[in-house]
Structure 1
């Protein structure tokens, strides 16, 4: 215990593997987030509505979403670290038993050697005893020495493994302490932001109610979402073209490389053929023009320079194409379906998606695999997450209490991506769900199975 306590400060100073991975992931997301922020600013600057009561909730609702996502990530880190700590403890127990067994074996080996081998090799050779007996004794001593050396090496290796295990165990415990501290901080932040949002809601309730009844606000909300989807589709298409161009460039360079290799191989084959023809011409008056027919063809000489396979360009939704999933998708959250696509609404234009009433915090799941292309707060839709499924299909999940994925994350069918709520000034807790193809909202009813 004293060793662990003494070593704790040294380990606390060294950045953990978890911290390094988090830093690398955040660095990768930075560029993408900058592009998304630019899209949001562009949309905000060009819209007619200059002020909305829900905007006052944006910071608090974004902070609540971030805190919930951080808590979920920390819970995953905690489970993984606890599992690693359990494995380390099991390994420590196994090593302790192995070392105990090896020490007992070494003790017996040394005792037997002491009892049976009082004479060393020199005394045995000079004893004048029967040569056969001397040879047997020497061989026995050699076997014992080899076994003893192997046992000592193994024992040393296991003792070194014990020390390494102790260090790793202490690091895992330190990591769990860090996670617990971060969880306490995030929970405190979450409670603080929830209280702040509650106070703002009470203060703005009348203004929000009035603004929700204005048809113009809803139309602007839909235009804002449509503009975001269009800009995201353009961004995705630009990225796809850039990736395709980079892939074609790599393939062109590979072809040029192969052509150069083939030319070198042909030149080498030609030189070898000319050299062989000279040898033959020295022996015969006439060289055989078909002398090189039995040689390896130049094309086989470059067989080792085959085209390096490039990563395949696939739709974002790995597996089956999204268009083949019609009629097989499940509702993204459990709850009551209170609004359908095309249904009339008293406070504005018809619904462009589904609204599913659900308890606050209910798990929202991806209806299909794809890549998260937006995960942020947007006026009218609160904490919003958009997934690109390839083939110009996107699904939209709005009014969440928290978005649990980040832009750039890959998701599979059924992955939890958010928790339901009433962010964005919505009166009821639940999920607003849309499907879009080529930027246009489409009716999810033909895609979703409601069983």
Structure 2
């Protein structure tokens, strides 16, 4: 029996020894890192476009100093840190779930391998007990040929079963090694996430302390500026300018997409028409050929001679393609075009309008200011202010795509969603922005957390609805 065990162990080691070197594991980049790099590249174009819009707004407005501007950097940093922590928590939960699935699969494979090893050991033992008789000995035994043939066939079946068992065992061991790699990769990702969480928490605490100190220093100046009607008027103009530019950009992209689709449809129709013409021409030529052959056979039958087949004319050559003229050598290479910024809505036109009166409230709280009411001595409210606890979840009222997610003077951390049909929903004074420009959102999905950024006195949410750039009363659309 020791000989059998040794034989089985040696055979398994020779056939199934699969391992990865530690250096290869150390140099491997996690899948999470690669995905993050790709996502950041895709967002770069959107941020570049929105930054240009912000610069244009800043150039066209009065650059009078606002106390809230001093808080801008700190409030934006707090928003980024909170969003990063929320994203990291989601990644951590997904990675832990993946680890649990891999562990369950690993346990199943381990049990399967144990059973396969027992089966292989039993087969080797039976082979050893049988005297290790091979086919040559069996053929030279002088036994009954029928019995020899039957035994040879049985030995063939046994060999095939052994080969299948070894192949399955080899595959399972390879899967074990693959799962081990997945576990190590997931553990590395968890370590990355944990370190990023520690860094973000430290940054968040630092920025919160900085903002508290700034608020204490600027409290009197903020109180004075909140009473200035001209400041409120500038805030309103700034918002209108941003919405107009975003609307124009979205409209231009929609028109460009329509032109592109029309061009594709025209090209497809032209190709189909040309293909149909070619098919008709081939069918006509085949019919003419068949008719000529029939006439030739008929004449040959009448004359008693063999039919003469004329060689088919060669197909007409396709017109030569005109090669592109090379650019002059002294032409300077042009810079690659910037990445296309997709701000098109995630919902078809008319979908948002059909939801009138059925939209969910963006945040839970009491309405403190309604559309059209007077803001002290300043202009009227273009939206609604809803009191809410700091950190309360702000939710998207409908499906759409985020087209703006950044800090803006007068509105703090601001997020704007395009719902199609030139309808926009606007959420201001947030503590944190949980979505980035370009992100798709579903109805009721958390997009921000309520706060008092932008120099606002109370914690809550400033909410607007706009159509074609013009604000309208949300009360008849949203169930508050």
Task: Give TM-score scaled by structure 2 length.
Answer: 0.84
Question: How many equivalent pairs are there?
Answer: 418
**Contact 2:345–2:418 (8 Å) recurs in 1:** no
Find the aligned partners of 2:70 and 2:296 in 1 and give their Cα distance. 97
What displacement does 1:269 show? 1.3
**Contact 2:401–2:438 (8 Å) recurs in 1:** yes
**1:391 maps to what in 2?**
421
Determine if the alignment matches structure 1 residue 427 to structure 2 residue 441.
no
Do the aligned partners of residues 319 and 97 (structure 1) sit closer, same or farther apart at CA in structure 2, a change above 3 Å counting?
Answer: farther
**1:201 maps to what in 2?**
215
**1:416 maps to what in 2?**
446
What displacement does 1:275 show? 0.9
- Give CA deviations for 1:1-54 in whole Å, capped at 9, x if unaligned: xxxxx9666435332221221111211111121111111111111112421000
**1:265 maps to what in 2?**
279
Find the aligned partners of 1:415 and 1:184 in 2 and give their Cα distance. 26
Find the aligned partners of 1:7 and 1:152 in 2 and give their Cα distance. 24
Find the aligned partners of 2:24 and 2:209 in 1 and give their Cα distance. 39
**Contact 1:337–1:354 (8 Å) recurs in 2:** yes
**Contact 2:371–2:382 (8 Å) recurs in 1:** yes
**2:396 maps to what in 1?**
366
- Give CA deviations for 1:286-345 in whole Å, capped at 9, x if unaligned: 9xxxxxxxxxxxxxxxxxxxxxxxxxxx95326971001111011111112111111222
The 3-state SS of whatever aligns with 1:390 is coil
RMSD over aligned CA atoms reads 1.8
**1:295 maps to what in 2?**
none
Structure 1: runs of 5 or more not aligned:
1-5, 287-313
- Give CA deviations for 1:394-439 in whole Å, capped at 9, x if unaligned: 1000000011101111111011000001100111111000011111
**1:144 maps to what in 2?**
158
Matches within 5 A, 1:277-356: 277-284=291-298, 316-317=346-347, 321-356=351-386
Do the aligned partners of residues 415 and 23 (structure 1) sit closer, same or farther apart at CA in structure 2, a change above 3 Å counting?
Answer: same
**2:50 maps to what in 1?**
36
Do the aligned partners of residues 155 and 385 (structure 1) sit closer, same or farther apart at CA in structure 2, a change above 3 Å counting?
Answer: same
What displacement does 1:124 show? 1.1
Find the aligned partners of 2:131 and 2:287 in 1 and give their Cα distance. 73
Do the aligned partners of residues 139 and 319 (structure 1) sit closer, same or farther apart at CA in structure 2, a change above 3 Å counting?
Answer: farther
**1:223 maps to what in 2?**
237
Determine if the alignment matches structure 1 residue 213 to structure 2 residue 234.
no
**Contact 1:8–1:174 (8 Å) recurs in 2:** no
**Contact 1:49–1:220 (8 Å) recurs in 2:** no
Determine if the alignment matches structure 1 residue 241 to structure 2 residue 271.
no
Task: Give TM-score scaled by structure 1 length.
Answer: 0.89
Determine if the alignment matches structure 1 residue 102 to structure 2 residue 141.
no
- Give CA deviations for 1:163-196 in whole Å, capped at 9, x if unaligned: 1111111111011001100110011111111111
Find the aligned partners of 2:94 and 2:187 in 1 and give their Cα distance. 12
Find the aligned partners of 1:39 and 1:320 in 2 and give their Cα distance. 27
Determine if the alignment matches structure 1 residue 440 to structure 2 residue 470.
yes
Structure 2: runs of 5 or more not aligned:
1-19, 301-343
